[in-house]
Amino acid sequence: MIYLDNAATTQPSKEALAIYNEAQQTLFFNSESLHVGGEMAREALNSSRHYIQKHFNTDKEVLFSTSGSHANQIAIDIYLSQAQEGKVLVSPYEHPSLYAALEPYKKQFEIVEMPLTNEGTIDLAALEALVDDETVLIIAQHVNSEIGYILPVHEIAEFAQAYNIPFHVDGVQAVQKIEDKAIQAFTSYAFSGHKFKGTKGVGALLIEHKSVRPTNIHYF
């Protein structure tokens, strides 16, 4: 079999599997435990967080998740739990899991898809006209998994910053696939290890400290 479906998932590298297996053998402790094993697990988690922060050159908080979909869910729940009503702007290229995460909020918020040009790219001028004081959240992928479109996330970030609106970016298809690692202008950024030769069941949400409203302290 010749495998060409790496946008869906990748085979874990030997290095990633070796690190994973070693951690399962030597760092299996509960990180909340007070004994030396728990301290070792906590140190490993903190070391992993610092590694991710260094990779992206950011001071954002790192919340670990079970997947990119889970990281997106955490972000959406954090932002929309702080608002009563308003408008959510979302690109029409989003992963189905993101729309599923928005589904429970459809009665409370107006979900508006970003307009496109005739070429199928985000119409930035039309989008800017939609951003206003009623907008409570903006969501966009960094890279689309099916057509490879790199969305203009940095331009969209400028619109969000002008109105102090949280801007969440799904970076699942971007990390380790494009050179752009500048995420500081985004309120939050999600990714998943299995998309670039890591193990399944591991994802992360990088999010500004001021925006963190965890419903479960064990995300930390």
Residue extents of the structural domains in the chain? 11-56, 58-219
Q: Report, as an integer, the average pLDDT of 117-121.
A: 96
Q: At residue 214, does pLDDT exceed 70?
A: no
The pLDDT, as a whole number, for residue 218 is 58
Q: Report, as an integer, the average pLDDT of 87-94.
A: 97
The pLDDT, as a whole number, for residue 72 is 96
Confidence label for 215 from pLDDT (cuts 50, 70 and 90): low
CATH 3.40.50.10800 fits 58-219, yes or no: no
The pLDDT, as a whole number, for residue 212 is 84
Q: What is the pTM of this model?
A: 0.93
Burial of 147 (0-12, 13-18, 19+ CB in 10 A): exposed
Q: At residue 11, does pLDDT exceed 90?
A: yes
Lowest mean pLDDT among 24-33, 120-129, 181-190: 24-33
Burial of 74 (0-12, 13-18, 19+ CB in 10 A): buried
Q: At residue 219, does pLDDT exceed 80?
A: no
